[in-house]
Amino acid sequence: MTALDACDAVLADIRACTLCADALPRAPRPILQAGATARIGIFGQAPGNLAHERGRPFADPSGVRLRAWLGVDEAVFYNRTRIAVAPMGFCFPGTAERGGDLPPRPECAPAWRDRLLATMPNLRLEILVGSYAVKWRLGVRARRTLTETVAHWRDYGGRVFPLPHPSWRNNAWLARNPWFEATCLPALRAAVAAALSDSPSSDG
């Protein structure tokens, strides 16, 4: 089995998953993209309502902002040979009573993450979107708060970038923390460009 076949086999299994079907507000619809040659992994929390309806990760205003942060267009972002998008929970978890989405289902990451990541050995850059991905990837290396972790992005060697979620709900956070756009985003865009510089250009 080739590396591409192995990745596609895992994707097929994930897309057929019904592990937490009884806990979801709708029928399971895992939303992710991955490729054996991907150089960048974007790890967030879970797809939102629009992403669920459209069947594509970050197919919403948050995705527009995220792509601007990364300095890439849709053609690059949705090319799975270059960028993988694998949230902590693959299905839309539902909406909280006070607004916003519920946390990713806890069954998802233990069931699938190790197997999926093993099929993508060429990742050069990991982008952690939000606190769930930060806690999963950095563990005790994360700071006390997400803000502190993002502010200390340099501590992770340029290969791991913690980010706040690009949701409009974080507009106030962005206004309070102008250093993020001034110092973190230029470095992030440079890291993205470097990781993609010699990656495959054809769709897989």
Residues 165 and 42: their CA atoms lie apart, in Å, by 12
Claim: this prediction has a pTM higher than 0.75: yes
Mean pLDDT of the chain: 94
Report pLDDT digits (tens) over 69-114. Answer: 999 999 999 999 999 999 999 999 999 988 889 999 999 999 999 9
For residue 10, count other CB atoms closer than 10 A to its CB: 18
Query: How far is Cα 76 from Cα 97, in angstroms, rounded to an integer?
Result: 36
Burial of 13 (C-beta count, 10 Å sphere; 0-12/13-18/19+): middle
Distance of alpha carbon 21 from alpha carbon 17, whole angstroms: 8
pLDDT at 27 (0 to 100): 96
Cα distances (Å, whole numbers) of residue 104 to 31, 42, 47, 158, 186: 12, 15, 9, 27, 29
- Listed residue (166, 178, 94) closest to 127, CA to CA: 166
**Gap between the Cα atoms of 66 and 64, Å rounded:** 6
Confidence band (pLDDT; 50, 70, 90) for 198?
Answer: confident
Cα–Cα distance, 17 to 181 (Å, whole number): 38
Number of other residues whose CB lies within 10 A of the CB of residue 18:
11
What is the per-residue pLDDT for 176? 97
